[in-house]
Structure 1
Amino acid sequence: MRLAVIGHPIAHSLSPMLHSAWLEAAGLFGCYTALDVEPGRLDTVIRRLRDGELDGLNVTIPHKEAIIPYLDRLEESASRAGAVNTVYRIGNELIGANTDGTGFVKSLERTGHVSKDILIIGAGGAARGIISALKTKVTVANRTYEHALRLAAEFDCEALPLDAVDLKSFDTIINTTPVGMSPNTLQSPLVLDGATALVCDIIYRPTPTLLLKEAARLGLPTLDGVGMFVGQAAEAFTRFTGNTPDFAYGEQVIRKQLEEQ
């Protein structure tokens, strides 16, 4: 297997470490590399896929939407999310999938927490992927209210300005924005006063984020972004190889690496 993750920049990605560990554990011969692909140069990597030099791709910022016109068809997950994070081949067809949403949902399910009223903070691509995979009541809140309204209309859910949210109304809060991500680790997207919910942050570097630290200080349960990262990767790995990887082992690999950094 010749696999890769593409993005710009991409040197920070932990995907090569994770997928390489799974390939080795499964006894599969292959390699997984990180390719820095500048905007406007997607045709070069697509050509390598078409020619058989690569067997599959993971896709991250800024290519998740731009890669769609190059593909032969999309899974429903990618069509609903309007973004692709995984490209795999069946025969001569290049197929796009979005495993972000299912990756998050599987991570959430592993907590045993039952979500009935979910608050999504943010209205970007990550929010789209997660909302498309959720099967319960969702409210979208965003600093730019118009963006929340647009996303809510598309998925038939509610929208609120971020400063008008009553946190007591929700049993699950999910931050899908980059607020709090390294290097801006002293930022939080939300003040948690009044919250009684499970607080989730899809950021996995750093972990815990300031948001999750504050949640823990208030005695609230938390879920960091490592599970989503491993979950979306596991979904992609299965599409690439036909094998179901060991989630717990993958999470162990990533947490160990994060602790050492």
Structure 2
Amino acid sequence: MAAGDTVEPGYNLHSLHCYFLKGGLDQPILYQVEATREGSTYCSRSVKAIQNGLTLFTMQCSFKKQESDSFEHQFKMPDVPKPDELKDRSQLYKDWIDETDPSDESLRSILTSDLREAETDTCEVRPVYPWRFRRENGDKPRECLWIRAKQPLGHDLHIHKSVATYYSDLFMADIARYPKPYIPGIHAFFVISLDHSVWFHQPCRPDDWLLYELECPCTANGRGFIVGRIWSPDGKLVMSVAQETVIRTAKAKL
């Protein structure tokens, strides 16, 4: 949003590439924006997020003016159930809690905390493959999720792209750990984003349903690489996403 405030009307964000350098505190953050290029079609910005004199985050982003071209091509959207045919993530947590042994207080406590987090999120999430939701025995590092903002976002396209970028980071790191079994309270992972890149192909509205298709081609040397495609309900590929994340396994302390 800070970078977008520095460009002239008519320029739209088309790509961004960022690094997460250091964790922040619950304190104000200064966003420092540098104009690195001004062109007739493209312009670029460099952004630093600074807190207490330390750089937490850096980003390069590029904006361009709209242009038309007769040549277009895209992959086909996956053939998956529609959102109204699927359960929300909150309901899946409720079902899991109901099926949990009442004497397993540790697991029930963790799931209840996850449920509260899901209910207070700004977005609604409906997993396409609900059996992968628990990952008790591990699974293929692939996922599809329908996601949308719970509140209308108005008509500012820059706000739409900013929110879509924020949502694009929420679930990527989890895909890297899918092949390993995961039972809350038994298995633990340290997972955190290292870098994140987004390319916008078409306009998108995150306050309408978007299908988020994710896969992790490789995890090695303490890092997972995740790629994603985001589709509009009418089958347009609106965004592509890539991320590298730190991932380490550990035995949880009960």
Comparing both structures, which one devotes a greater share of its residues to helix? Answer: 1
Comparing both structures, which one devotes a greater share of its residues to strand? Answer: 2
Q: TM-score range by the shorter chain?
A: under 0.3
> Structure 1 length as normaliser, TM-score?
0.25
> Structure 2 length as normaliser, TM-score?
0.25
Greater RCO between the two (CA within 8 Å, min separation 6)? 2
